[in-house]
Structure 1
Amino acid sequence: MSKGSNTCLFGVIRPAADSCDERGKSVKSKPELQPEPELPSELKSEPELPPELKSQPKQREKYEWESKRVEDLEMSDFSMFDDDIEPFMFICARFIYKNKAQIQKDKEIEVAMAEYRECSRNLSVFDAIPVPKISGKCGGVGPLPMTDDRRLFLTPACHLALDNYNAENQGPNFVFVDVVKTTYRPGGFYYITFQAQEEIPNSPVIAFQAEVRIWRTDPPIIIKSCAIKTT
């Protein structure tokens, strides 16, 4: 049975997005910032078809429950969806209806999220693992693939983070070697693990971790923290 939407929400107010803490160490210099790598070709939208080739969407007839006032609806009005293979949910102030497919999906999400919480219990944001896709959750901190383009994009931030570290800590100066990995939080927040070594020939490579924000700000790179990785 086809439906226009898998989930109907009435009277639900979305919470305001968390404000980003802009405090942190900002660097006065403005290094040249490499552009964020483009999306892979398979993720880019396909070129738009000319109007004459676009198919007109078929208009479906309204279900009976769609013609009722919300306050007059009952759970029985949605019995037509009970055995639908596609998950369906309806939420209003008086009740929540879920068909069998939605109930099964909720159980699978609960199992997947329990495993995710167990696996990520002792992980820092620098070692975050992906949230299960079945959960449908967006946001949060998750890993990004380390491509050559992304490594080039993050390198200036690593240099600035290391400059801050050298300026604030007494001891040997460190020089940047390479980016190891990164995780990301929406809003331009990167949690980067990178390598550096002392300015001494044949010195050992040491892992650093830096929290930075790369955004449309002035300066475009803000260093939140930078330290030697402890574990």
Structure 2
Amino acid sequence: METFVFGAIRPRPESCEPEKEPEPESESNSKSKVVLRPNWDWQLKPLEDLTPFNAIPVPFLAMTCSSNFPRPIDIDDDDDDKRPLLTHLSKFSLDKYNAENKGSNYEFEKLVKAARRPVPRGTYYITFEAKDATDTDASNRPATTFQAHVWNKSSARKKFEKELPVVKSCSIKT
């Protein structure tokens, strides 16, 4: 007699076959099987040295609301309001670097590239060039590349609440 449970018909226990244990493989049989696994090292090699400062465009399918990949910022547009903000944040982080490292006196030169992270809002990874102000000949000074991780709290809050940015790190790029 078949039973009817929750809308599914279950066969009689006599008609079901008992479960059989799988037969153990012999050593000679297991040696003949070769399992090929793909080697992805060649694809992962470029990603080993990738940092948030080296942000790459995020693939479209990876841009979900739960992803927190750093996204590059186009700083070539002169019309955009991002360039003055990034310049301000770079100068602020450079002032903090000069204050922490006694004897260093760098002046901001130009922006190189920048990236932002969506969460927390207002997190920027900025690469910029600065020159040492202690050199007398301004044209002969070599530019030093800096990387700064800055959290602009005022962009995360309402516009009337102005807070100083928090410099998480600012160092010479190695």
Which category describes the TM-score, using the shorter chain as reference length? Answer: 0.5 to 0.7
TM-score (norm 1): 0.46
Asked if structure 2 preserves the Cα contact closer than 8 Å seen for 1:116 and 1:132, the reply is no
Asked if structure 2 preserves the Cα contact closer than 8 Å seen for 1:207 and 1:229, the reply is yes
Residues 118 and 173 of structure 1, relative CA distance in 2, 3 Å threshold: same
**1:225 matches 2:163:** no
Residues 197 and 136 of structure 1, relative CA distance in 2, 3 Å threshold: closer
Aligned equivalents of 1:208, 1:134: Cα separation in 2: 32
**1:128 matches 2:66:** no
Asked if structure 2 preserves the Cα contact closer than 8 Å seen for 1:188 and 1:215, the reply is yes
| Bigger relative CO (Cα 8 Å, ≥ 6 apart) | 1
Query: Which of 205, 220, 228 is the equivalent residue of 2:143?
Result: 205
Cross-structure match for 1:97: none
Q: How far off is 1:207 after superposition?
A: 0.4
Residues 136 and 169 of structure 1, relative CA distance in 2, 3 Å threshold: closer
Q: Which of the pair is proportionally richer in strand? A: 2
SS in 1 for 2:166: strand
Cross-structure match for 2:73: 144
**1:161 matches 2:93:** yes
Cross-structure match for 2:115: 183
- The 5 A counterparts of 1:7-156 are 118-137=45-64, 138-146=67-75, 147-148=77-78, 149=80, 150-156=82-88
Aligned equivalents of 1:120, 1:160: Cα separation in 2: 30
Residues 153 and 222 of structure 1, relative CA distance in 2, 3 Å threshold: same
Cross-structure match for 1:215: 153
**Which runs of 5 or more residues in structure 2 are unaligned?**
1-5, 7-40
Percent identity between the two aligned chains = 39
Aligned equivalents of 2:168, 2:61: Cα separation in 1: 32
Aligned equivalents of 1:168, 1:130: Cα separation in 2: 34
Aligned equivalents of 1:129, 1:167: Cα separation in 2: 32
Residues 227 and 208 of structure 1, relative CA distance in 2, 3 Å threshold: same
Q: How far off is 1:122 after superposition?
A: 1.4
Residues 155 and 215 of structure 1, relative CA distance in 2, 3 Å threshold: same
**Which runs of 5 or more residues in structure 1 are unaligned?**
1-71, 73-113
**1:193 matches 2:131:** no
Residues 177 and 136 of structure 1, relative CA distance in 2, 3 Å threshold: closer
Render the CA deviation track for 1:172-191: whole Å, top value 9, x for unaligned: 30000111110110111000
Aligned equivalents of 2:101, 2:169: Cα separation in 1: 13
Cross-structure match for 2:103: 171
